[in-house]
């Protein structure tokens, strides 16, 4: 069922390995960066709201 005869066949992609893997790797990297960025943004917003409401409660 698997099309490839060997792992090195798979990695070489018929000589087009850098193009194929360059596409897939950058896509994975971009998604990973986006996920990290939205989580960081979320944490920053949460903590700034917490600080602010804490300051209000104290007064």
Partner 1 sequence: MFSSGINWFKYAAPQRFYALSGTLIPYCVAVAVIATIVGLTIGLLIAPSDHQQGESYRIIFIHVPAAWMSMIIYLAMAFWAAMGLIFNARLASMFALALAPTGALMTFLALWTGSLWGKPTWGTYWVWDARLTSELILLFLYLGFLSLHAAIEDTRKADRSAAVLAIVGVVNIPIIYFSVKWWNTLHQGASVSLTKAPTMATQMLTGMLIMTVAFWAYSFAVSFYRCRTLILERERHTAWAQEAVK
- Binding to partner 1 in span 27-46, by CB under 8 A: 27, 30-31, 34-35, 38, 41-42, 45-46
Spatial contact of 13 and 20, defined as CB atoms under 8 Å apart: yes
The size of the interface with partner 1 (CB under 8 A), counted in residues, is 31
List, in sequence order, the alpha helices (H) in 1-59.
7-12, 17-58
d(CA 46, CA 28): 27
Q: Is 11 in the site for partner 1 (CB under 8 A)?
A: no
Half-sphere exposure at residue 22, Cβ-oriented, CA atoms within 13 angstroms: 5
Q: How far is the CB of 14 from partner 1 (least distance, A)?
A: 4
Q: Interface with partner 1 by CB under 8 A: which residues?
A: 1-4, 10, 13-16, 18-20, 22-24, 26-27, 30-31, 34-35, 38, 41-42, 45-46, 48-50, 52-53
């Amino acid at each position: 069922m698997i099309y490839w005869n060997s792992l090195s066949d798979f990695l070489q992609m018929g000589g087009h390995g850098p193009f194929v893997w360059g596409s897939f790797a950058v896509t994975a990297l971009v998604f990973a960066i986006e996920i990290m960025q939205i989580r960081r943004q979320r944490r920053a917003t949460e903590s700034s709201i917490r600080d602010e409401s804490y300051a209000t409660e104290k007064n």
